[in-house]
């Protein structure tokens, strides 16, 4: 077993060697610009991009022409929210989202509020899941868009996408989901879930950083989206700029591998995750799981350890790559806004750790982490004045 152990797969994942192998030729001998129409170099690159488009589409049961390549989920979220809102201003000015969304969604909403849009941040239940009755009550005739994350980057909870899609569909409201953490990990079916826009990031699914996609449902007339970037009219005018061909090839390959291996991989990760949880809970008292355990990504665990400060815990666990799940602002470390939105008391929000398992983790690593966490928490608690 090699140290340090990587347990932070929600932050990013290593590139799968099979993905790297697929990408490499597109840096060197197949270096063409996918927009070059007059020679073989360009055709080769364009062909690779179209293959990747099919691979991404297939993962989420979309059609290739519904996939737009971007620089990642941050850009996809920005394009989905700002692009749709600005293009639909005439129809309405109201957006519904959750306070637990990623900053790429929340900050896009804040920007839109400055432009005169109205945003409802629906409170979530204690388990992090959306309350569908609250959602029903939040629609107004002005509502144009609902944005709800498919699976959560901190607490791993998986939202009721089909039910949300249905509520939106019945009202003619567009439904966007940030699936950066969900795509490739759990089945997603954009048709049956009635999803109109969906954000994907390659580096969360064993692909390279700096590349992603936005699924935009095909409609007649086409869904209007105001581009964020103007230029050469790439990606049907919705996202100008020379395509990142090696990155796109990597994203496509990553999607293909996830699609093929998802059933076995999620079963294996789920059992590793449960081993981790059971191991920690059997060794320590006063440990609380944050977020629904039933509707959760297979590789996510988020725990609060009473009477322990998570920053000290991270220092004590210096041979394990973990994160607190709390967003740190400049100098001052704040408790996670996500845990606060769930109603987790501050002292437990300050005591949380996010465990994100991945493709290359082993049972041996899980057992090591259980030992180290139990030891570190026991030690810190023995020093804690609160327990004296």
Ligand X SMILES: Cc1ncc(COP(=O)(O)O)c(C=O)c1O
Specify the 3-state DSSP secondary structure of 22.
Answer: helix
Residue 181 within binding range of ligand X, rule CB under 6 A: yes
Residue closest to ligand X, measured at CB: 72
Q: Identify whether 109 is a catalytic site residue.
A: no
User: For the purposes of burial, counting CB atoms within 10 Å of the CB of 161, is it exposed (0-12), middle (13-18) or buried (19 or more)?
Assistant: buried
Q: Which stretch binds ligand X (CB under 6 A): 53-61, 70-78, 161-169, 254-262?
A: 70-78
Which string of DSSP letters, residue by residue, matches 166-186? Answer: HHHHHHT-EEEEE-TTTTTTS
| Choice between 93 and 153, CB closer to ligand X | 153
Residue 74 within binding range of ligand X, rule CB under 6 A: yes
The answer to whether the beta carbons of residues 213 and 58 sit under 8 Å apart is no
Would you tell me how many other CB atoms lie within 10 Å of the CB of residue 8?
A: 17
| Choice between 48 and 297, CB closer to ligand X | 297
Residue (of 38, 82, 31) closest to 239 by Cα position: 82
From the list 109, 168, 255, 328, the catalytic residue is 328
Residue 102 within binding range of ligand X, rule CB under 6 A: yes
| Choice between 229 and 374, CB closer to ligand X | 229
Q: Which stretch binds ligand X (CB under 6 A): 49-57, 178-186, 213-221, 292-300?
A: 178-186
- For 203, residues 6+ apart whose C-beta sits below 8 A from its C-beta are 12, 13, 72, 209, 210, 211
Q: State how far the Cα of 160 lies from the Cα of 266, in Å rounded to an integer.
A: 19
Residue 149 within binding range of ligand X, rule CB under 6 A: yes
E strand residue ranges, the chain: 5-6, 67-70, 94-97, 118-121, 143-147, 174-178, 197-201, 212-216, 287-289, 300-305, 320-321, 352-356
Phi, psi of 176 (to 5 degrees): -110, 140
In the region spanning residues 296 to 335, those forming contacts with ligand X, defined by CB under 6 A, are none
Residue 106 within binding range of ligand X, rule CB under 6 A: no
Residue 156 within binding range of ligand X, rule CB under 6 A: no
Q: Which stretch binds ligand X (CB under 6 A): 73-81, 219-227, 338-346, 355-363?
A: 73-81
Residue 208 within binding range of ligand X, rule CB under 6 A: no
Out of 128, 165, 212, 247, name the contact with ligand X by CB under 6 A.
212
What is the enclosing helix (H) or strand (E) of 74? helix 73-78
Residue 358 within binding range of ligand X, rule CB under 6 A: no
Residue 180 within binding range of ligand X, rule CB under 6 A: yes
Q: Which residues bind ligand X (CB under 6 A)?
A: 72-74, 77, 102, 104, 149, 153, 178, 180-181, 201, 212
So which residues are the catalytic ones? 328
């Amino acid at each position: 077993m090699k140290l340090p152990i990587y347990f932070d797969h929600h932050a990013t994942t290593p590139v799968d060697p099979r993905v790297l192998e697929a990408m490499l030729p597109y840096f060197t001998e197949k270096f063409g610009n996918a927009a070059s129409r007059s020679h073989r170099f360009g055709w080769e690159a364009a062909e690779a991009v179209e293959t990747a488009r099919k691979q991404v589409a297939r993962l989420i049961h979309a059609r290739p022409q519904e996939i737009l390549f971007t620089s990642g989920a941050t850009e996809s979220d920005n394009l989905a929210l700002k692009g749709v809102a600005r293009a639909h201003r005439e129809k309405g000015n109201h957006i519904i989202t959750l306070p637990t969304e990623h900053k790429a969604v929340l900050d896009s909403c804040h920007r839109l509020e400055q432009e005169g849009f109205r945003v409802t941040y629906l409170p979530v239940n204690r388990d992090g899941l959306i309350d569908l009755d609250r959602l029903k009550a939040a629609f107004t005739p002005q509502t144009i868009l609902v944005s709800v994350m498919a699976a959560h980057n901190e607490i791993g909870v998986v939202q009721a996408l089909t039910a949300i899609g249905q509520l939106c569909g019945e009202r003619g409201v567009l439904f966007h989901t940030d699936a950066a953490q969900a795509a490739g990990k759990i089945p997603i079916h954009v048709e049956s879930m009635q999803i109109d826009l969906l954000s994907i990031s390659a580096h969360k699914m064993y692909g390279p950083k700096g590349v992603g996609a936005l699924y935009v449902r095909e409609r007649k007339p086409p869904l209007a989206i105001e581009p964020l970037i103007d230029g050469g009219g790439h990606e049907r005018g919705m996202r100008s700029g020379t395509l990142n061909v090696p990155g796109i090839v990597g994203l496509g390959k990553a999607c293909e591998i996830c699609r093929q291996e998802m059933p076995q991989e999620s079963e294996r990760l789920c059992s590793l995750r449960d081993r981790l949880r059971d191991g920690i809970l059997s060794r320590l008292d006063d440990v609380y799981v944050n977020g629904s355990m039933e509707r959760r990504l297979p590789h996510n665990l988020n725990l609060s350890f009473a009477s322990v400060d998570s920053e000290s815990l991270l220092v004590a666990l210096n041979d394990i790559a973990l994160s607190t799940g709390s967003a740190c602002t400049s100098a001052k470390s704040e408790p996670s806004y996500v845990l606060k939105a769930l109603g987790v008391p501050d002292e437990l929000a300050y005591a949380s750790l996010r465990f994100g398992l991945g493709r290359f983790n082993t049972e041996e690593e899980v057992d090591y982490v259980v030992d180290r966490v139990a030891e570190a928490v026991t030690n810190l608690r023995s020093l804690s004045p609160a327990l004296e």
